[in-house]
Amino acid sequence: MYLKSMKDDSVIKINNVTKQYDNVFAVKSLTLELKKNQIYGLLGPNGCGKSTTMGMILGLISPSIGSIEVFGRNIEKYRTEILQKMNFISPFIDLPKKLTVEQNLKVFGNLYNVNKIDEKIPELLETLKIQKLRTRLVGELSSGQKNRVMLAKALINDPEILLLDEPTANLDPDIADFVINFLKNYSLRKNTTLIFASHNMSEVDKLCDEVILMRSGKIIKKGTPQGIKNFYEKDNLQEVFLKVMRS
Amino acid sequence: MIFNNRIKALFLRHIYLIKGSVPRVIDLIYWPTIQIILWGFISKFFSINATSLNYGVGIILSAAVLYDFLFRSSISFNMLFLEEIWSRNFTNLFVSPIKISEIIISLTFASLIRALIGVVPAVLIISPLFDFSLLDLGLGILPLLLNLYIFGISLGLMVSSGLLRFGPAFENIAWSSLFLLAPIGCIYYPLSILPDWLQFISKLFPLVYIFETARGILLTNSFEYLNLIYASLINILYLTISISLFYISYYTAKKKGNLINIGE
């Protein structure tokens, strides 16, 4: 199905969304607009509503109140069409371990209706420098290798929006740095909107165009990393985070 | 001392587990009870129906193979679903553009392949070992297999709905649901063997009609078309209910947030 081309350059509109589990508010009256070709960092302590927000954008969680539009369409109603142009990566999910890297990518290539998947897979593996892993079982890979395979899965459909939930968790600094640089270049090259949730402030500072600070299910500040540092009169985001969370 | 603290420690670890979990205790009671009930009814059947003894091997073997086909179809569906949870791939599936109907259709066909891989060798082994072939049931076996397959998928869908809604904790139900059907489904004996009150419950399942038809072919060489119609109608009802249940579970899981943290 044809997705509305948005008149403005926003790709995601979160309209006064609340998510409530029994008596607990995971997200409260959230309104947010995310624009094309931007990299957003979602920051906040555990339980602040980052994952719930991502889950709702992906159509995995239904909002209790409010609506979310992606590419101008409601995610609840146009899930299939919207997800065709999105993807997701998280250290809390995995790929089938008994399948090889290539088999996994073929499965996901088919799930996303990717054309010429046999050409796409070697191209992706080369970009991520993991050609040698093609015939290896995912279960045999190190966490650094697995992370890059997960990234290949997340890029299999050339997503226009990519959501990343702590993509560098459990990675050594060298591989984490590779991933961050790769994502930055990828976003520039492919005009992809990235939504990045992390606890690593230096990565957020390096990667993101805009930072969204969340606490108790609400946005408490939104702006460029420098703008946020200036506002809170701190030298780095780590100090901003501590100041905000302890205030 | 034989019972030192280390032995006691490990012993206690498992006792605490049993004490703290009612489902575990029920699970321990469930299997022997089902086995005893099942074999009790089988014994009753052969003791009051001596002529059936002449066909004993055929009746038991054909029932065992047909039941296994049902079992494989259903368990395969659940296993495919559980595989996604165990491999933590579940969320990946639900963030892809796949539709619920497409999940159901693909798992249905994958289950058939798994069921056939399991059952075909068993069918081939029976013939040289026991001088009995399932083909003795003739072409009539095809609608029976189709009905068993549809019922297996319906059960698989119902259990998967539970997995979707309640997570891997529902796994035990996946294993035990089919064994419960063995005694009340009249797989190895006719409906008349059961007490009246249990007959009423049995008639709510298509298995009674399917296995009565199979026994009819073997014992009297007759094919009860009416039984097949009953089985098909009940199956359509179960399939409709199970598909609806799967959709309801999906939407409930979305409300509860289960799709993002299932298996954690």
Phi-psi region of B189 (alpha: psi -120 to 50; beta: other; left: phi over 0): beta
Which residue's entry shows tokens 């079992």? B71
Distance from CA of B161 to the nearest CA of A (A): 16
Separation between Cα atoms, residue B111 and residue B78, nearest integer Å: 9
Chain B interface disruption, residue of A93, A114, A149, A153, most B CBs within 10 A: A93
| A to B CB pairs, distance under 8 Å | 74
Distance from CA of A134 to the nearest CA of B (A): 19
Residues of chain A found within 8 Å of residue B99, distances taken between Cβ atoms: 80
Domain with CATH 3.40.50.300 in chain A: 10-85+160-246
Q: Which pLDDT value is given to residue B2?
A: 66
Residues of chain B found within 8 Å of residue A26, distances taken between Cβ atoms: 257
Residues of chain A found within 8 Å of residue B251, distances taken between Cβ atoms: 62
Chain B residue at shortest CA distance from A93? B88
Q: Which pLDDT value is given to residue B54?
A: 63
Spell out the per-residue pLDDT of chain B, length 264, in tens. Answer: 567 888 888 888 888 877 877 777 777 787 777 777 877 787 777 777 766 666 677 788 888 888 889 988 998 898 888 888 888 898 999 999 999 999 999 999 999 998 888 888 888 887 787 777 877 778 888 999 999 999 999 999 999 999 888 887 777 776 777 777 888 888 888 898 899 999 999 999 999 999 999 988 888 888 889 999 999 999 999 999 999 999 999 999 999 998 887 755
Residues whose CB falls within 8 Å of the CB of residue A120, separated by 6 or more in sequence, listed in order = A109, A114, A156
Chain B interface disruption, residue of A24, A61, A155, most B CBs within 10 A: A61
Q: Which pLDDT value is given to residue B25?
A: 79
Instruction: Inspect the interface and report whether the beta carbons of B257 and A79 lie closer than 8 Å.
Output: no
Instruction: Inspect the interface and report whether the beta carbons of A83 and B96 lie closer than 8 Å.
Output: yes
Instruction: Inspect the interface and report whether the beta carbons of A95 and B87 lie closer than 8 Å.
Output: yes
Strand partners, A211: A41, A223
Instruction: Inspect the interface and report whether the beta carbons of A93 and B96 lie closer than 8 Å.
Output: no
Which residue's entry shows tokens 């891997």? B168
Residues in chain A: 247
Instruction: Inspect the interface and report whether the beta carbons of B91 and A108 lie closer than 8 Å.
Output: no
Nearest-by-Cβ selection for A112 from B87, B88, B96? B96
Residue ranges of alpha helices (H) inside A70-196 are: 79-83, 101-111, 117-127, 143-155, 173-190
Whether A153 and A105 have beta carbons less than 8 Å apart is answered as yes
Q: Is B101 exposed, middle or buried (0-12, 13-18, 19+ CB in 10 A)?
A: exposed
Q: Which pLDDT value is given to residue B264?
A: 52
- End-to-end Cα separation, chain A, in angstroms: 47
Distance from CA of A61 to the nearest CA of B (A): 4
Nearest-by-Cβ selection for B97 from A52, A84, A97? A84
Separation between Cα atoms, residue A6 and residue A36, nearest integer Å: 10
Q: Report the relative pairing of strands A73-74 and A65-70 from DSSP bridges.
A: antiparallel
Element (H, E) at A212: strand A210-215
Whether A154 and A87 have beta carbons less than 8 Å apart is answered as yes
Q: Which pLDDT value is given to residue B249?
A: 96
Distance from CA of A108 to the nearest CA of B (A): 8
Instruction: Inspect the interface and report whether the beta carbons of B92 and A153 lie closer than 8 Å.
Output: yes
Chain A interface disruption, residue of B80, B258, B260, most A CBs within 10 A: B260
Instruction: Inspect the interface and report whether the beta carbons of B97 and A94 lie closer than 8 Å.
Output: no
Phi-psi region of A81 (alpha: psi -120 to 50; beta: other; left: phi over 0): alpha
Give the model confidence (pLDDT) of A101-123 as tens digits.
999 999 999 999 999 999 999 99
Separation between Cα atoms, residue B248 and residue B165, nearest integer Å: 9
Q: Tell me the residues of A at the B interface, defined by beta carbons under 8 Å apart.
A: 19, 21, 26, 51-52, 55, 58-62, 79-81, 83-84, 86-88, 90, 92-98, 108, 111-113, 153
Q: Which pLDDT value is given to residue A70?
A: 97
Joined together, the tokens standing for residue B109 give: 């066909």
Top CATH class of A10-85+160-246 equals alpha beta
Q: Is A55 exposed, middle or buried (0-12, 13-18, 19+ CB in 10 A)?
A: buried
Query: In which residue ranges of chain A is pLDDT below 50?
Result: 1-2
Residues of chain B found within 8 Å of residue A108, distances taken between Cβ atoms: 92, 96
Instruction: Inspect the interface and report whether the beta carbons of A94 and B93 lie closer than 8 Å.
Output: no
Instruction: Inspect the interface and report whether the beta carbons of A80 and B99 lie closer than 8 Å.
Output: yes
Q: Which pLDDT value is given to residue B135?
A: 79
Nearest-by-Cβ selection for A61 from B89, B257, B264? B257
Q: Is B36 exposed, middle or buried (0-12, 13-18, 19+ CB in 10 A)?
A: exposed
Nearest-by-Cβ selection for B91 from A60, A86, A111? A60
Which residue's entry shows tokens 């946020």? A228
